[in-house]
Every structure is written in C-alpha cells, then in structure tokens.
C-alpha cells in the first residue's frame, strides 16, 4: 500500500493507493441519470415541439443510484468464482457518435423525423442537434477531470464524429478536441450574439498528455450515414434546401432559442400560382462533403497528439482507414483500428456494416502478427459485430470464426447503435475458453444517455485479465447549451422510444461491469510482471479563499493524522474554506485499510 501526503492552505490531503481491494466509485458507478416517469394523460408531442419538453415533463430527469453489474465470468472456465485485481495494465477512454451537426446546413434530413413518433429513427432530427459541439466540450472537460484522478494512456473516438459528413462539422470536432475557439454556426451565423447554442465559445481541449485516435464511422463518409457523398455534393454548399422524396428537408433557424425549423414540408406546399418557391439559406463554402481520404487528411491539421491521430499518409493514398498502434511501449498490448463501414464500391442502402476482402485480409494479417508477437489485442471499430450486413462480402459467420481463432484478442469496442451494451463472445470450443472475447458498445454523445466510457485493463492475481468498464455522464453547468441538450435527449428518448421503451421508463441504460478474460499459459507467464498500482489520485484546486478536493471513493477527515477518521462525502468535488481550522483529509477506497505517515510539504 502506498501513501502520498499533500499539504495546502491549512489542510492536508492523504492520497490512498491500495494494493488490492475494490476500486473507488467513478461516474455512473456513483450515480446515474434517470428519466422521470411521465404522468398518465401527458399529451403526446412531436420531437420538434421543443417548447413543450419542459412544460409536459418530457425533459425531466433525476439522479438515480449507481450501477455496477459486478464481475462477469461468462467467458471463463466453468466453475470460475471470482478474480482479485493485482495491477493496472492500461487505462483509456472511448467516446463515440458525437455527430457534430451543422444545423443550418441545407443538406440535413430534418423532415424525416421532425414529426416522428415511437419507432421512428431520431438520427435525422432531434433537438440535441442544437448543441453538439457544446456537449462534446463538456465530455472533454469531464475526461480531463477524470484524467487527474486516473490518468489515461490514450483516448479514442469510435466514429461518426460528423453528422454530414461536412468539412465544417469535422473541423468543429477536431477543434473542440484541440481546444480552439469555436463558432458553432454557419452561413450568416444567425443568433451568434443572442442565442446561447449559437454563441462562440472557448473549448477546453483534451489534456495534451492524452494522445487520441480516430475511427471512421458511416456518417463520416456517407450522407446521413448511408448514401454516397458524390450524389449530394452540390446540396452541401447550395443555397436551396435539399428536396428529397417529394419534400424539402428543412433547416434550423439559429435566431430562435428553441431551434424552430423553416423550409420544411411537402414540395407541393411551396407551390403558388404554378411556381415552386424553393426555400433557401445563406450558402457557406465550408459545408462541402468529405470523401474518406479527405476525412482522414483533416486529422493532420491538429495541435494535439499524435499528428494524424493514428492515420498515416499511406492511409489517404490507399483510401484505407485501418491502422494499428501500441499505446505503451513497455506493455504487450496492441490496438487494431478497423474500418467495418461499407465503401462506395460496396454501397447498398442497408449495408452500413460491410467488410470487403481487402479489409478482411488486412485484419487477419494484423491479428496474426499480434498473436505471433504475444500481444494482447483490442479491435476498435465503428459497427458492432451483429450489424455486419447480409450484403457484406465477408459474412458475419466468417468474421466470428476468424476472431475466435486468436486467443489473445480480448476486446472488440465499437459504437454506432448509440447505446451502452456489453456482449460476451464466448469461445466456440468448450475446452478452450481462452478463445472467447468481449464486445463493448459505447453510447452516443448525441442521444440519451449521452455518455462516454472508460476502460481499465487489469491483471489479476491468477494472471487472468479484468476489463473494468464504466459509463461517464459529462458534467454540465445548469442552463448551458450542454445542460439543455441533456433534457432534450431525455425527451427525444421518450418520444421515439429509443432506448426508452415507454413514457414511464426510468432506466438509466447504464452498463458497468468487470469483464473477465482467460489467457493462454504463455500469455499468463508473459504478463505476470506487468502493471502499475491500483487505486486513484487526489487532485486539489486552490483559490484565494478555498480549496477544492477532487477524489474518488469516500472523502474522510480527521483532526490529527492518526485519526479518528470520519466520513465526509462520496460526492466529488468537495470545497473547504481557507479560513477553516486545519484538518487532515484522505480519499478512502472500499476494501482498503490505509496506512498513515507523517505529512510532507
């Protein structure tokens, strides 16, 4: 057990890092966001009736209890009981499906869902469209705060950074990650001085100590995620609002506080005196659509690391969005970034999850090399395994049989479905459970529950692996665009009944767990000496008149270093007035009995 003492402004903070025992509570392990059930008889509203969200309770939510599904041993040998964590190998964060949206673009598809109902697809319209850059910024600020307590080795975005795919949408994503000044509007920048979601803001930027990587999603190189960009290229930069399937698709009016929609409806409604009065917007040259190669190229225009965010120049030359990297040079772990979205050549309207022979052969090569080099392997993709389409040149059955032939594969991580899911992929061989792996799907930052996810790869005392996954709600300031977006996301989840199943559904849709993975004997031997200490750090912020303590677990205080110690709170952060009497503070993690030593300044 290791202890660090920090003295500051009349208080002393004891940092407890236990050598074993259960970890401290993080994110939704401590509390969750739960929709408040609507009362019987609540009026049914359209998704675009944003002013009624609060009036009728659609956007109401409350804090619920933390969620933890505990250790999951589905992929372990029969009769396996429990694992004891010994060391932390790797810590990283995933965000997915930010869908940064130019709501004033004439090439959105708002008409398809603005009067939607249960069962319709909210991907084309939801009032969360108003504030996607601000929600991403809130997530990054939260990630930075967690990094101070549990340092991340890397971050990865699992695709659909842009909604369009438009150049300005991707630039907003990268610029938020880089901590740039963001102007979250286009065209005439309507409402930039008066409407909160239109106002320019300073993004925090991801902590420069955290390298981050990118994965291509279907929305990143297809219009609305499913149609080739070339067919809609003129629509992106046009002044005319897109007409599709007999209707004008509509645009958000940035001059309105609730994002009212104009230029929307059947084309016949715009005909007067035999003349069609096509609705228009101000053009913006930065709205042009991106091909896959141009999408990758933008990641080289960045101030955070690594330049290219995983992509290399040969990725663009070959129009191939796959690569691999080793997150820690002294750790036998390899991350394989795999593009499982369809290509233009493979295009079919329902084929978003498609793997062609070229991509499949590359994946097999990467897996084979990793297995031969005794590396644990993580595959990062956008599309979940079960969504590999029937039209895919490489079938789901072929893909699964291949993945199950590499016992060092521990994880397939993905997004796309906008929900948190944990799916065991057990070995097909009853006598060789080490051939099983886990699939973990991360929710969207766009739609409820608007979360990202942290991963801790832990070595256990028996040299099995634990994968501790935790969903994180972005911390938001009340009445800001990001805070309002949370309410809109809750309301839209009720209206479309996704993921909510009814107006009375109060589920948080959080899935936190510790996923157990058996390794082969050679890999057990190889990793036996790897890993750093368990536990977390304490972060302290000082002002002229107070000290704020950021922590995980239970904050305790005492009058003397030897105690007795009294529980203070489990809710971080906690502020202490500088004028208060001197006290000692420590963050105590469940299951640990911390030793106490003399303070050091």
User: In total, how many domains does the chain have?
Assistant: 2
What domain range includes position 576?
A: 2-24+535-588
pLDDT of 477 reads 94
d(CA 257, CA 11) in angstroms, rounded, equals 45
Note whether 332 and 345 are same-domain residues: yes
Q: Residue 320: give its domain's CATH number.
A: 3.60.21.10
First to last CA, the chain: 20
Tally the C-alpha atoms within 13 A of residue 474's C-alpha that lie toward its C-beta: 33
Q: Does the residue 274 lie in any domain?
A: no
Sheet holding 437-441, edge to edge: 323-325, 333-337, 376-380, 409-414, 437-441, 421-425
pLDDT of 349 reads 66
Note whether 479 and 573 are same-domain residues: no
Percent of the chain past pLDDT 90, that is, above it, reads: 76
Residue that finishes a domain, picked among 476, 507, 527: 527
d(CA 141, CA 234) in angstroms, rounded, equals 36
Tally the C-alpha atoms within 13 A of residue 21's C-alpha that lie toward its C-beta: 17
Query: Among residues 338, 524, 470, 348, which one has the least CA distance to residue 32?
Result: 470
Q: Does the residue 87 lie in any domain?
A: yes
Query: Among residues 420, 170, 410, 446, which one has the least CA distance to residue 311?
Result: 170
| Tens-place pLDDT, residues 16-72 | 333 222 333 578 998 999 999 999 999 999 999 999 999 999 999 999 999 999 999
Note whether 146 and 17 are same-domain residues: no
Note whether 556 and 508 are same-domain residues: no
For 142, phi then psi, to 5°, come to -65, -40
Mean predicted lDDT score pLDDT of the chain: 90
pLDDT band per the 50, 70, 90 thresholds, residue 203: very high
| Tens-place pLDDT, residues 488-531 | 999 999 999 999 999 999 999 999 999 999 999 999 999 998 99
Residue that finishes a domain, picked among 481, 505, 527: 527
């Amino acid at each position: 057990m290791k202890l660090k003492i920090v003295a500051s402004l009349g208080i002393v903070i004891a940092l407890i890092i236990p050598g074993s025992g259960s970890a401290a509570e993080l994110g939704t392990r401590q509390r969750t966001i739960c929709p408040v059930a609507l009362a019987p008889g609540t009026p049914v509203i359209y998704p675009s009736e944003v002013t009624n969200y609060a009036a009728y309770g659609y956007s109401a939510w409350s804090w619920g209890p933390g969620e933890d599904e505990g250790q999951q041993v589905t992929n372990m040998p029969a009769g396996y009981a429990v694992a004891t964590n010994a060391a932390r190998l790797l810590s990283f964060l995933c965000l997915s499906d930010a869908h940064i949206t130019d709501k004033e673009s004439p090439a959105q598809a708002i008409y398809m869902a603005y009067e939607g109902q249960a069962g319709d697809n909210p991907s084309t319209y939801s009032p969360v469209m108003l504030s996607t850059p601000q929600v991403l910024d809130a997530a990054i600020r939260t990630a930075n705060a967690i990094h101070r307590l549990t340092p991340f080795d890397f971050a990865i975005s699992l695709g659909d950074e842009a909604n369009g795919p438009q150049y300005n949408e991707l630039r907003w994503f990268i610029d938020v990650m880089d901590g740039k000044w963001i102007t979250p509007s286009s065209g005439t920048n309507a409402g930039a001085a008066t409407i909160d979601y239109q106002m320019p803001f300073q993004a925090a930027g991801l902590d420069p100590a955290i390298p981050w990587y990118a994965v291509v999603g279907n929305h990143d190189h297809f219009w609305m995620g499913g149609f080739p960009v070339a067919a809609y290229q003129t629509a992106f930069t046009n002044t005319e609002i897109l007409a599709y399937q007999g209707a004008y698709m509509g645009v958000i009016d940035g001059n309105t506080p609730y994002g009212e929609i104009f230029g929307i409806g059947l084309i016949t409604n715009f005909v007067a005196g035999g003349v069609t009065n096509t609705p228009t917007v101000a053009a913006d040259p930065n709205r042009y659509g991106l091909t896959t190669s141009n999408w990758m190229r933008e990641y080289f225009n960045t101030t955070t690391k690594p330049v290219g965010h995983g992509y290399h120049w040969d990725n663009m030359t070959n129009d191939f969005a796959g690569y691999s990297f080793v997150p820690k040079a002294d750790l036998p772990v390899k991350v394989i970034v795999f593009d499982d979205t369809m290509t233009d050549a493979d295009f079919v309207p329902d084929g978003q999850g498609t793997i062609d022979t070229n991509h499949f052969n590359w994946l097999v090569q990467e897996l084979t090399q990793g297995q031969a080099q005794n590396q644990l392997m993580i595959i990062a993709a956008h599309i979940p395994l079960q969504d590999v389409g029937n039209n895919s040149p490489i079938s789901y059955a072929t893909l699964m049989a291949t993945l199950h032939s590499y016992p060092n594969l521990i994880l397939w991580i993905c997004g796309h479905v906008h929900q948190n899911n944990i799916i065991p992929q057990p070995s097909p061989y009853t006598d060789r459970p080490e051939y099983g792996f886990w699939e973990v799907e991360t929710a969207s930052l766009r739609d409820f529950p608007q979360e990202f996810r942290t991963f801790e790869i832990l070595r256990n005392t028996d040299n099995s692996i634990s994968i501790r996954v935790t969903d994180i709600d972005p911390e938001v300031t009340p009445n800001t665009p990001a805070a309002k977006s949370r309410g809109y996301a809750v309301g839209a989840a009720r209206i479309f009944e996704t993921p909510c199943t009814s107006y009375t559904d109060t589920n948080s849709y959080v899935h936190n767990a510790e996923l157990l993975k058996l390794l082969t004997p050679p890999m057990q031997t190889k990793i036996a000496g790897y890993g750093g200490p368990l536990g977390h750090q304490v972060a302290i912020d000082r002002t002229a008149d107070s000290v704020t303590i950021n922590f995980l677990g239970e904050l305790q205080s005492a009058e003397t270093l030897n105690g007795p110690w009294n529980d203070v709170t489990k809710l971080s952060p906690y502020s202490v007035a500088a004028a208060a009497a001197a006290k000692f503070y420590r963050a105590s993690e469940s299951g640990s009995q911390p030793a106490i030593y003399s303070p050091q300044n």
